[in-house]
Structure 1
Amino acid sequence: MQLLTYIEKHTQLPKKGIENTIELLNADCTIPFISRYRKERTGNLDEVQVGTIVQLKEQYETLEKRKKAIIKAVDEQGVLTTALQQNFENAEDLTSLEDLYLPYKKSKKTKAEVARKNGLEPLAKIIMAQRQDVIEFTASKYLSAVIKNEDDALEGARHIIAEWINERTDVRNAIRSQLARFAQITTKVISTKKEEEKAQKYRDYFDWSEPLNKCPSHRLLAILRAESEKFIRVKITLDDERLIDRIKNRIIKTNNECGQQIDLSIDDAYKRLLFPSLTNELLKAAKEKADDAAITVFSNNLRQLLLGAPLGEKRILAIDPGFRTGCKLVCLDENGNLVHNETIYPHAPQNDFTGAVKKLSSLANAYKIEAIAIGNGTASRETEQLVKKVIFNNPVEVFVVSEAGASIYSASKIAREEFPNYDVTVRGAVSIGRRLADPLAELVKIDPKSIGVGQYQHDVDQTKLKTSLDMVVESCVNMVGVNINTASVPLLSYVSGIGAKLAENIVAQRKEKGAFKSRQEILDVPRLGGKAFEQGAAFLRIKNAENPLDDSAVHPESYGIVKKMALDNNTEIATLIGNKSVLKEIDLAKYCTNDVGLPTLKDIRSELEKPGLDRREKAKVFTFDQNITSITDLRSGQLLPGIVNNITNFGCFVDIGIKESGLIHVSNLSDSFVKDVNEHVHLHQQIIVKVLDVDVQRKRIQLKLHN
């Protein structure tokens, strides 16, 4: 099967679009570039569709690599025939390929192999022929120094027959079908661990059973985690008597002694080989499916977080709150540069409330602070109340900012390189302030797994998780665009076609020669050639450039088209930009060429109407209920303001201003059926919730979305 046919079979995408996308990928083009600037070639495929082609291409290449390895291994055994090779090459997935390979995947330690070495395979063939009514006499001919009696001979023959049955594709597929439909997952607590404190969060699974195909992804991952932590035992069970009988009816043709031996062989094959192997396969597939679901949720959350509302270029005073160690203060200019830092001690044990108020007021005045960002960790609520009592000379907005992952960033190599002369506490406060100004620019510096918007992220396939999250970050960065003259190395590294090394070279060039004045100057960066420029230039923005298109999403390859549009309308490019009335009247068909069609021209016109438009919302001030400071203050029926801080398949978690987040179960998001949690809430959304139940001992809060 060819790559194009493979992708066509797994998608509903047009053949020409798939073919051209594959060509572009083979030419080292990126997903953001292809989906944005090669629409004519792909048939206007979007980023998700191009990403699907990438994934299927990788799956196909993995399958083909495995086929080659198997064909080589079988050939080395000297048993590869033309027909067998054809069967391997025609396999459409890894499962069927491995089934075909199973008879040639011998281990010298199997019971069947030992029996073969003892010369019992001919006896096994005689039994399988099912022609002899009495088999013991025939078995006596196979006695030896190792095979002492007829029972030993028949047992060895049965081991060989059991292996043959195990290798039958029809039998394996019949069992697979039954397992997929009827398998139960059952759990039992390990009695010696039942009372352990850490085991209590898995209490629901101390005695649990349900159909595996009905087990939600989050529950399966929780069960498997409990098993890995050795609190429970997990079994896959099946009511299998009818299934075994069906297998016997398929294989046994007589009621003679040969048939009886095969009957025993089938029982052995099922219990010792088929059921353990296929239940492991089933559980592995279920785990992979659960991983995919968890990764999808994590990816969706990460996208929402990265595209969170930025405050923009404001002078910010950021506070990393604390009790005993004090509150770390940093003042940042409108570009996020650190201009001042110190510590105040308004809370116990020092209780310097008055001094803290004076200091906050003086710093706000001295550095013309426009907004204050307070981390949402320890002492956050107390610090927020302190700040709101300060009288500022000018209006100052106060925001509570998630500090998840800030400690990871502050101790990282990136942070040390950015602030080599400051300790981790100062770096953490800077990160909090910068997150308010631009969440995307700051959060790309942190491992997404440390940001706190996923679930079971340490239990899922880590390679698959990293690939998915990297694609999300790349997508978000390129969707928003990057100011090349202010962006950090981590942010630049996610720009289409750039990568870590070129990002370092860009920053080094910027430090040595000053700000880039045009996109053309990007080509002067060492090792940044024409291909990288083609892939990345349109995502790199230059403020106040001589050519205003350098601060837009218009690709440099299309500058000539815009210039012609301006000339045709007797105006300059700068005047054409933003002039909706003129742009609306332009006949785009006039500018179509063999390479540029209406999809690209419509994108150009849309960009010219609002060049460099940031599609993200603007940050909004939010205030928690000041009367709620701990879980003990909660009562059923209360209506409280909250912020969605995590989304899962079973609901969403909400920050209501205390240490513990509350859960809105999917059933409490709406009075009607909820298919997708994201259709009702999004990350960092400000909502009103109703308290349904509070379990102080287990620190669990049940909420309902209040409309």
Structure 2
Amino acid sequence: MTDILKFITSRLPLSKQSVKNTIELLNEACTVPFISRYRKERTGNLDEVQIGEIVKYKEQYEALEKRKAAILKALEEQGVLTPELSQKIGDAQDLTTLEDIYLPYKKSRKTKAETARKNGLEPLAKIIMSQNANDVESIAFKYVKGSIDSVEDALEGARHIISEWINERTDIRNNIRYQLERHAMISTKEVKIKDDTNGAKAEAAQKFRDYFDWSESLSRIPSHRLLAILRAEKEGFIRVKIEIDNDRALDKIESRIIRSNNECADQIELAIADAYKRLLLPSLSNEALQIAKEKADESAITVFAKNLKQLLLGSPLGEKRVLAIDPGFRTGCKVVCLDAQGQLKYNETIYPHPPKSDSVGAMKKISSLADAYKIEAIAIGNGTASRETEALVRKIRFKNDIQVFVVSEAGASIYSASKIAREEFPDYDVTVRGSVSIGRRLQDPLAELVKIDAKSIGVGQYQHDVDQTKLQKSLDGVVEHCVNSVGVNINTASKSLLSYVSGIGPKLAENIFNFRSENGVFTSRNDIKKVPRLGGKAFEQGAAFLRIKEAKNPLDDSAVHPESYTVVTRMAKDLGKSVQELIGNAQLLKKIELKNYCTESVGLPTLQDIVKELEKPGLDIREQAKVFTFNQNIKTISDLREGQLLPGIVNNITNFGCFVDVGIKESGLIHVSNLSDSFVKDVNEHVSLHQQIIVKVLEVDIPRKRIQLKLHK
């Protein structure tokens, strides 16, 4: 524990005790949401972000230790492990240092230096490196034998060995790393491509034309630009090169090695040039580019994670009866009616738009369905024919007040063709499933979007170019955070939603779902213990995040953990009230002296959380959905004019700005420089996903389908 504590606390400004206790909880299979919410006394009140950082460095430490063990084993098998080497490996604090230590001992493919050694040239290399000999050619002549045909062959072989020694020196590698970190330039050159018959390659290449001849500091290049350049290289449109001042780099190496002015020095100078060009620069420039890529990945993943969090915590309409429409022209508009719990009650296809243009019949059908199913809101997908369908619906005079919403379709087609959708609606086709998803997104975005692979939701930048394992882990963490922050109604939740509850996972989620189907709704949290394979640990981790509406014990529909029920009962008893009377009674709750209920395991942080929850039990942290209307006169990009002020909805956020839906096919960009008159450090400080804003049109490029906007304050 000492070593891991030292490793983590040297990287995080947290107390050793907090880190130690958190590691112990993680080793006990506790989840981050559970630890941050219900073990505040043990962690010193660390939040989810801080605990997440501990998890990250804990994993880094474990990966480092695993690699150390593998290297030690390999060195032992080679018979080269010494106490000094073992100590150096044990002291290594990062993988780069560790790999540099191991580099001379790696069993690699056949190298020029290895060939030279087999030809008996290592003694000659040592003589040259001693820098004491004067007549190097005469000495080299003694090694002309076997496959070595000449003095020059002997000297070249010796230089290959010296080049390898230079390449393996940690101080030299670190000096070049320093120069790459400070001074490296990334440059690109266009690759002339042979186009295919339909011109698709040339058209695809034009997306990257800004980078056909580009040069920029590697340390300063924005993440989105680096990822764009690397994608263009991957697709074969450009070549990428990392460069530093070669003369300066060679001078730095020479100053560390050459200490004489004789023939040996001349040979070493040639070996340095060879080592630099053939071994050091290719390897370390690739390493520098990989480090830059990892930073760009991290930045892009952070943007994606922020966007996903905002999307998942988007405003729900709540348990309302919804009529959902997936609009279309030729294939018609798919209409479904959902009850307040999102269950499908009816589906039909209407044809209000060309070529059939039965707008009157469509309006009558929507009106009659609204009456028949007591519809409270209408959700219209924002894809093809969305604006036309919205205009049609707004013409209908409903008997009751019905709100009309335009809902993002991003990822709906992915869901409709998925295994989850097929299991939910085995008797319906993808069009009906997609419409249901649109309606449910309005009722509860979180509950519906968790069914879709987050990468398919369409928020973020270059999500397919970043490290997919890291991206998936980050996004899973975001979904888990959002689900547990909101809480889950165990009696209505899908398997997908249940699987993200703390301590549950896919298998137990399926068991809960099946148990509910066979035995009816859960009436208390204690009932959860009856689910097959759901043991004490899973119950401890997940119970407080699972809510039961209209339960006999009102605490079962709150974020109060079952382990704290006795504390609440004591509080109520001391006030001469029932638990039910305590809930929602702010005046009564103020009378509680929290210090009277402190124990070794329950401190003030937990007690304060309990009282806060009792004031508003089960309160949804999300705002309620609001109706939004686009400018009805703007239907295509051709309708836009510079200087116009338009209502819009933020539909994506990147490091370089945000994209805004103004009600047409193309989204407009508010560049980071047009978000504020002052410097913008973080786009998220100025806008949030799905925020309703007013924008000013700055520029419209119809051929390139680009719209430049400015945030109007």
CA shift at 1:34, angstroms?
Answer: 0.2
1:246 and 2:263 equivalent?
Answer: no
**For 1:192, what is the secondary structure of its paired residue?**
coil
Counterpart of 2:198 in structure 1 is none
CA shift at 1:109, angstroms?
Answer: 1.3
Asked if the contact 1:186–1:235 (Cα under 8 Å) also holds between the matched residues in 2, the reply is yes
Amino acid at match of 2:339: D
Distance 1:685 1:241, change over 3 A: same
Amino acid at match of 2:345: V
Structure 2 counterparts to residues 628-667 of structure 1, below 5 A: 628-667=634-673
**Matches of 2:382 and 2:95, distance apart in 1:** 47
Amino acid at match of 1:58: E
**Matches of 1:464 and 1:245, distance apart in 2:** 39
Counterpart of 2:81 in structure 1 is 80
**For 1:161, what is the secondary structure of its paired residue?**
helix
**Matches of 1:585 and 1:125, distance apart in 2:** 85
**For 1:688, what is the secondary structure of its paired residue?**
strand
**Matches of 1:192 and 1:510, distance apart in 2:** 60
Asked if the contact 1:139–1:150 (Cα under 8 Å) also holds between the matched residues in 2, the reply is yes
1:347 and 2:348 equivalent?
Answer: no
Counterpart of 1:282 in structure 2 is 288
Asked if the contact 1:107–1:113 (Cα under 8 Å) also holds between the matched residues in 2, the reply is no
1:132 and 2:138 equivalent?
Answer: no
1:510 to 511, 516, 538: 516
**Matches of 2:194 and 2:584, distance apart in 1:** 68
Q: Under a length normalisation based on structure 1, what TM-score does the superposition of the two structures give?
A: 0.99
Amino acid at match of 1:485: N
Counterpart of 2:41 in structure 1 is 40
Asked if the contact 1:370–1:396 (Cα under 8 Å) also holds between the matched residues in 2, the reply is yes
**For 2:325, what is the secondary structure of its paired residue?**
strand
2:479 to 469, 473, 477: 473
- What CA deviation, in whole Å up to 9, does each residue of 1:616-667 have, x standing for no partner? 0000000001111111111111110000000000100000001110000000
CA shift at 1:192, angstroms?
Answer: 2.9
CA shift at 1:250, angstroms?
Answer: 1.4
What stretches of structure 1 of length at least 5 have no aligned partner?
Answer: none
Distance 1:654 1:402, change over 3 A: same
Asked if the contact 2:71–2:102 (Cα under 8 Å) also holds between the matched residues in 1, the reply is yes
**Matches of 1:192 and 1:49, distance apart in 2:** 49
**For 1:621, what is the secondary structure of its paired residue?**
coil
Structure 2 counterparts to residues 188-587 of structure 1, below 5 A: 188-192=189-193, 196-587=202-593
**Matches of 1:527 and 1:108, distance apart in 2:** 51
**Matches of 2:213 and 2:643, distance apart in 1:** 33
Amino acid at match of 1:295: I
CA shift at 1:134, angstroms?
Answer: 1.0
Distance 1:199 1:40, change over 3 A: same
1:6 and 2:12 equivalent?
Answer: no
1:601 and 2:607 equivalent?
Answer: yes
- What CA deviation, in whole Å up to 9, does each residue of 1:553-610 have, x standing for no partner? 0000000000000000000000000000111121100000000000000000000000
**Matches of 1:581 and 1:421, distance apart in 2:** 54
**Matches of 1:686 and 1:60, distance apart in 2:** 44
Q: Which moved more, 1:629-638 or 1:541-550?
A: 629-638
CA shift at 1:108, angstroms?
Answer: 4.2
**Matches of 1:408 and 1:88, distance apart in 2:** 48
1:672 and 2:678 equivalent?
Answer: yes
Counterpart of 1:94 in structure 2 is 95
Asked if the contact 1:345–1:353 (Cα under 8 Å) also holds between the matched residues in 2, the reply is yes
Counterpart of 2:69 in structure 1 is 68
CA shift at 1:98, angstroms?
Answer: 0.4
- What CA deviation, in whole Å up to 9, does each residue of 1:205-235 have, x standing for no partner? 0111010001000000000000001011100
**For 2:660, what is the secondary structure of its paired residue?**
strand
Counterpart of 2:120 in structure 1 is 119
**Matches of 1:272 and 1:540, distance apart in 2:** 60
Counterpart of 2:144 in structure 1 is 143
CA shift at 1:130, angstroms?
Answer: 0.5
Asked if the contact 2:119–2:146 (Cα under 8 Å) also holds between the matched residues in 1, the reply is no
**For 2:646, what is the secondary structure of its paired residue?**
strand
- What CA deviation, in whole Å up to 9, does each residue of 1:321-378 have, x standing for no partner? 0000000000000000000000000000000011001000000000000000000000
CA shift at 1:106, angstroms?
Answer: 3.6
Counterpart of 2:630 in structure 1 is 624
**Matches of 1:53 and 1:677, distance apart in 2:** 27
CA shift at 1:145, angstroms?
Answer: 2.3
**Matches of 1:192 and 1:86, distance apart in 2:** 53
**Matches of 1:208 and 1:133, distance apart in 2:** 48
**For 1:623, what is the secondary structure of its paired residue?**
coil
Asked if the contact 2:661–2:667 (Cα under 8 Å) also holds between the matched residues in 1, the reply is yes
**For 1:567, what is the secondary structure of its paired residue?**
helix
- What CA deviation, in whole Å up to 9, does each residue of 1:287-322 have, x standing for no partner? 000000000000000000000000000000000000
* TM-align CA RMSD: 0.8
Amino acid at match of 1:182: H
CA shift at 1:107, angstroms?
Answer: 2.3
Asked if the contact 1:654–1:662 (Cα under 8 Å) also holds between the matched residues in 2, the reply is yes
Counterpart of 1:167 in structure 2 is 168
**For 1:343, what is the secondary structure of its paired residue?**
strand
**For 1:214, what is the secondary structure of its paired residue?**
coil
Q: Which moved more, 1:504-513 or 1:603-612?
A: 504-513
Amino acid at match of 2:650: V
- What CA deviation, in whole Å up to 9, does each residue of 1:120-146 have, x standing for no partner? 001000000000111111111111120
Asked if the contact 1:134–1:256 (Cα under 8 Å) also holds between the matched residues in 2, the reply is no
- What CA deviation, in whole Å up to 9, does each residue of 1:495-514 have, x standing for no partner? 00001111111111111111
**Matches of 2:25 and 2:109, distance apart in 1:** 47
- What CA deviation, in whole Å up to 9, does each residue of 1:157-200 have, x standing for no partner? 00000000000001001100011000000011112369811111
CA shift at 1:80, angstroms?
Answer: 0.6
**Matches of 1:468 and 1:106, distance apart in 2:** 35
Amino acid at match of 1:648: T
CA shift at 1:521, angstroms?
Answer: 0.4
* 4+ long deviations beyond 2 Å: 191-195
Amino acid at match of 2:390: E
**Matches of 2:137 and 2:344, distance apart in 1:** 90
**For 1:262, what is the secondary structure of its paired residue?**
helix
**Matches of 1:620 and 1:582, distance apart in 2:** 34
Amino acid at match of 1:53: I
Amino acid at match of 1:153: A
What stretches of structure 2 of length at least 5 have no aligned partner?
Answer: 196-200
User: Identical aligned pairs, as a percentage?
Assistant: 73
1:156 and 2:157 equivalent?
Answer: yes
Amino acid at match of 2:325: I
**Matches of 1:421 and 1:570, distance apart in 2:** 56
Amino acid at match of 2:384: T
